[in-house]
Amino acid sequence: FRLVFTGAGGQRDSIAMKIKDLKLTNTLLLPYTPQATFNDALNGCDGLLVTIANGIDGISFPSKLYTCLSVGKPIIAFSSPTSELRSKVESNGVGKWIELGDAEGFASCVRKLIADPAGTKAMGAKAREVLETEYSIAVAGKKYFDVLKLGDKGI
């Protein structure tokens, strides 16, 4: 088992320090992945993390969820209990939700995913299905069109 983080987000330095302090030999922190190899990097994963900070529910949503759904991998979502991210992941059966800061919950989740390869694969397949049926360009375009039609009616 290897845990790999990629990116250059605001928590990168604190994650690097925690990996070093805890001597986590099975954890890698890699730099930002270039667009040319991004899809390959995602497809090389068994599961994908999507996070959103506390206090921004209703203000922001992690658009990376859609990219993660596209590669058909289960999602491990970190957020507050009331986040839209949690709702989308749990209601669609595309992964597992963990409250921000719950390290033991994360470890337990990873152990369960490893122990249930068939269930993990099914969540990944469901992720791709949800992307295609709920978030495709055709579906999203129709939703935008419907909103614009409402605007024409003065609603």
The structure tokens 């604190």 sit at: 14
Does residue 6 form part of some domain? no
The structure tokens 């330095």 sit at: 13
What does the pLDDT look like over 40-54, one tens digit per residue?
999 999 999 999 988
Alpha carbon distance 28, 77 (integer Å): 19
Domains held by the chain: number = 1
Do the Cβ atoms of 75 and 94 come closer than 8 Å?
yes
72-44-36-6 Cα dihedral, nearest 10 degrees: 100
What does the pLDDT look like over 55-79, one tens digit per residue?
888 888 999 999 999 999 999 999 9
| Cα 8 off chain centre by | 16
Could you give the angle at which helices 84-92 and 117-134 cross, rounded to 10 degrees? Answer: 110
CATH number of the domain encompassing residue 99: 3.40.50.2000
Q: Would the pTM count as exceeding 0.75?
A: yes
The amino acid at residue 92 is N
Does residue 100 form part of some domain? yes
